[in-house]
Amino acid sequence: MTHRCSSVLLEEETNNEALNPSPAEQQQIRGAYLTRAGNCMGCHTAPGGWPFAGGRRLSTSFGTFVTPNITPDKETGIGYWSEEDFWQALHQGKSRDGRLLYPAFPYTEYTKVTREDANAIFAYLQSLPTVSQVNPPSEIRFPYNFRPLLAIWRALYFKAGVYAPDQSKNEEWNRGAYLVQGLGHCNACHASRNLLGASSEDDTLTGGKIMGVNWYAPSLISNLEAGSGHWTIEEISELLTTGVSKHAIASGPMATIIRQSLQHLSSEDIRAVAVYLKSIAENERDDTARTHAPVNSAERWEQFAQGRQLYEKYCQECHGTSGEGVPGIYPPLAGNRSVILASPLNTIRSVLNGGYPATTSANPRPYGMPPFQQILREEEIALIVSFIRNAWGNKGSWVTTVDIDRSKESVN
């Protein structure tokens, strides 16, 4: 009887601890959430490797960066780091020993994270199981491997500073801006970059090619690309949390971000992000004429007809006779902004490699697209992509086999 009562009391005490976490536990819980929001595990986990133990290879035009171990292991991780060291890395882009970090680690965005949030993330990372894992060094090309050059790069392109709320906007808008500009580091992908890998303030969220994965991250401002000015807040939120909506289906790297990060955010934070994204695009016009090659010659009409035949054979069953698709299952191709982007890269890669939308709790078994690179010749893929970029009222550039070759290129 006494033993049973003791067990009950112990169970009640454990439940009370779970319901009433200590301040330190609350900080770790918040840190776990913020770590999800920043998708830290996505970069600091190698395929098939231990979470947060690093070793993931990030290919860029400057070389291959290998992500570090950020578990609390003292010899191979960040076990000897302090809160101040971690804050210095996020806010200043400097390692514990003062070395300047390469901006492959997006401290150019993380600098906007508040000290309170940085401390919470650090507390969570320090609570993780230690993993002793020595990762290989990064393979950075000359002259970029001459680290003192980073001081010049930083003087030109980096400005440290925590996010400053816009007093003309409400709290929800500022929360969304903070997540997009800072912890979400959306600009790390959705921005064009110069030869030194830097983006300017004028290029913020204007779209650009993602280094190393050969995808184009569309502009989040222009309604010709992925701007959401004409969407409702609910429609934007749906895409960010499920990967699908009546307007679009997320694919490629964005599907991974939704699966690993965005679907786990609170409904309040997702709505805040949606409010911010809608606001930065809602004044953009979408009637700007595109530069495209019209089907106005006998040769083009012949190629267009060949593309139509290939489409009818391989694509029509899912995407429809008029490119209408099936809502929530197969994306429409008619009027689809991702199909008629100035760059045909994403459409080509989808045809070549196939793929799936994000696997999320709200869409656990998404419909996928099979790869066609083993079925169709490059000339045929060029004809299909050219057809869908110019059929049903679409207006896109014509695609050649050179474009197909370039889409296969990877950065080594």
Bridge partner list, 63: 60, 140
Distance of CA 137 to the CA centre of its chain: 25
Q: How far is CA 312 from CA 194, 242, 317, in A?
A: 41, 30, 8
C-alpha closest to that of 240 among 223, 222, 226? 226
Structure confidence at residue 13 (pLDDT): 36
Alpha carbons 352 and 399: distance in angstroms, whole number = 14
Structure confidence at residue 2 (pLDDT): 37
Q: SS3 sequence, 122-189?
A: HHHHHCCCCCCCCCCCCEECCCCCCCCHHHHHHHHHCCCCCCCCCCCCCHHHHHHHHHHHHHCCHHHC
**pLDDT above 90: percentage of residues in the chain:** 67
The whole-number average pLDDT for the span 219-227 is: 89
Residue 50 in this model has a pLDDT that exceeds 60: yes
Rounded to the nearest integer, the mean pLDDT of the chain is: 88
User: Model pTM?
Assistant: 0.87
Distance of CA 59 to the CA centre of its chain: 15
- Pick from 54-63, 204-213, 287-296 the range whose average pLDDT is largest: 54-63
By the 8 A CB rule, do 112 and 140 touch? no
Contacts of 301 (CB under 8 A, 6+ apart): 295
**pLDDT above 70: percentage of residues in the chain:** 90
pLDDT tens digit sequence for 90-121: 999 999 999 999 999 999 999 999 999 999 99
Structure confidence at residue 96 (pLDDT): 96
Which of 11-20, 56-65, 127-136, 194-203 is predicted with the least confidence, judged by mean pLDDT?
Answer: 11-20
pLDDT tens digit sequence for 282-332: 655 544 444 555 566 788 889 999 999 999 999 999 999 999 988 878 889
Structure confidence at residue 282 (pLDDT): 65
Structure confidence at residue 7 (pLDDT): 36
C-alpha closest to that of 121 among 67, 85, 75, 92? 85
If you search the block for the tokens 């890269």, which residue do you land on? Answer: 345
The whole-number average pLDDT for the span 193-205 is: 84
Residue 412 in this model has a pLDDT that exceeds 80: no
Alpha carbons 251 and 259: distance in angstroms, whole number = 11
Q: Which helix (H) or strand (E) holds 6?
A: helix 2-19
By the 8 A CB rule, do 279 and 379 touch? no
Q: What angle do CA 111, 115, 121 make, to 5 degrees?
A: 90
By the 8 A CB rule, do 401 and 346 touch? no
- Indicate the pLDDT class of residue 11, thresholds 50, 70 and 90: very low
- Indicate the pLDDT class of residue 43, thresholds 50, 70 and 90: very high
The whole-number average pLDDT for the span 68-76 is: 97
Structure confidence at residue 297 (pLDDT): 73
Alpha carbons 122 and 195: distance in angstroms, whole number = 33
Structure confidence at residue 292 (pLDDT): 55
Residue 132 in this model has a pLDDT that exceeds 70: yes
